[in-house]
């Protein structure tokens, strides 16, 4: 009986979370004039589904280009961020140098600053470097967010949990500091690396404020700006808006589904099984 109640409760919770996504999917497949008519029954069972909304969204929001820009943005930030943040975190965890504790205190202090506080200083910086116009805006879109205080702090804590004896054994076998980092420390914190990668990808796939500030041309518009343009450029086509929302949501769901088992793993060797 208790197990049956648990299944029922789980099903109810799942239905609550899935209902908006299912409604969004169904609304993207019906003509615009039927999106807000007839409720759930008409959306799912009245028939007449069409892909016209997807064609309209693809054309009006320039989804091919904006998807490519968003993929580029998330990939560059996630990939370069793994390199930069893991190196910085390992340095804070293992190296001894003057001012280490003070510098790490600054990193921790940066955790409390929201992006809204940093937008203007970042904009002035990238503008001074000439990274706001044309193709260079792609560099301005990505480079300011490669290094992250949270990622450095998060990875440092995991590096500290790695027994020093492993690296000392590597040193006795002739491993350099770089080999100790690459062959011993990094594999030991693999779940943490995947976690910060997923967080970066999800955050910057849904990023709106910074692309809105930095992307002054259509060629550098991200998928979120493409979706927003459907609300501001008449005519307002709710079917196309729903279709565009589905297209922007599916990559996030797919990414998390693929990497979920690595994120939740607590054993550093879990990704090898």
What is the per-residue pLDDT across 114-162, written as a single tens digit (0 to 9) for each? 888 889 999 999 988 888 776 688 889 999 999 999 999 999 999 999 9
- Taking the C-alpha atoms of residue 140 and residue 144, their distance in angstroms, rounded to an integer, is 7
Tell me how many domains the chain contains. Answer: 1
Output the CA–CA distances (angstroms, integers) from residue 207 to 71, 240, 266, in the order listed: 12, 21, 29
Structure confidence at residue 57 (pLDDT): 92
Start-to-end Cα distance in the chain: 35
Assess contact for 239 and 247: CB atoms under 8 A: no
- Range of the structural domain that residue 191 is part of: 55-272
**Which pTM does this prediction carry?**
0.84
* pLDDT given at position 219: 83
pLDDT tens readout for residues 211-238: 998 887 888 889 999 999 999 888 888 8
Residue 44 included in any domain = no
Q: Is 109 within a domain?
A: yes
Question: Residues 272, 270, 9, CA angle at the centre, nearest 5°?
Answer: 135
Residue 29 domain flag = no
What CA–CA distance (Å, rounded) separates 127 from 172?
49
Looking at the domain assignment, is residue 12 inside a domain?
no
Question: What does the pLDDT read at residue 226?
Answer: 92
> Six-digit token pair at 122?
């970042």
| Whole-number pLDDT of residue 42 | 61
Flag whether pLDDT at 112 surpasses 80.
Answer: yes
**What CATH number corresponds to the domain at position 149?**
1.10.3720.10
Indicate whether 42 belongs to any domain: no
Say if 174 falls within a structural domain: yes
Residue 39's pLDDT is 62
**Residue 188, in any domain of the structure:** yes
Angle at 205 between CA 68 and CA 12, to 5 degrees: 125
- pLDDT at position 267: 44
Residue 214 within any structural domain of the chain: yes
């Amino acid at each position: 009986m208790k197990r049956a109640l648990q299944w029922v409760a789980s099903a109810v919770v799942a239905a609550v979370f899935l209902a908006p996504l299912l409604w969004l999917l169904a609304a993207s497949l019906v003509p615009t004039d039927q999106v807000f008519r007839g409720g759930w029954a008409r959306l799912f069972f009245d028939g007449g589904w069409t892909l016209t909304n997807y064609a309209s969204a693809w054309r009006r929001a320039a989804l091919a280009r904006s998807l490519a820009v968003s993929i580029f943005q998330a990939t560059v930030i996630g990939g370069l961020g793994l390199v930069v943040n893991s190196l910085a975190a390992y340095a804070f965890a293992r190296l001894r140098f003057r001012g280490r504790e003070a510098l790490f205190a600054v990193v921790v202090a940066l955790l409390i600053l929201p992006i809204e506080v940093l937008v203007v200083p970042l904009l002035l910086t990238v503008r001074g470097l000439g990274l706001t116009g044309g193709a260079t805006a792609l560099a301005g879109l990505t480079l300011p967010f490669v290094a992250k205080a949270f990622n450095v702090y998060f990875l440092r804590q995991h590096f500290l949990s790695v027994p020093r004896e492993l690296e000392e054994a590597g040193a006795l076998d002739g491993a350099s500091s770089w080999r100790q980092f690459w062959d011993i420390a990094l594999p030991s914190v693999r779940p943490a690396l995947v976690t910060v990668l997923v967080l970066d990808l999800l955050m910057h796939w849904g990023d709106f404020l910074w692309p809105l500030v930095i992307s002054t041309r259509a060629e550098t518009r991200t998928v979120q700006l493409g979706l927003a343009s459907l609300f501001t450029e008449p005519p307002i086509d709710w079917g196309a808006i729903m279709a565009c929302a589905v297209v922007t949501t599916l990559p996030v769901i797919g990414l998390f589904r693929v990497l979920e088992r690595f994120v939740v793993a607590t054993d550093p060797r879990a990704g090898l099984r």
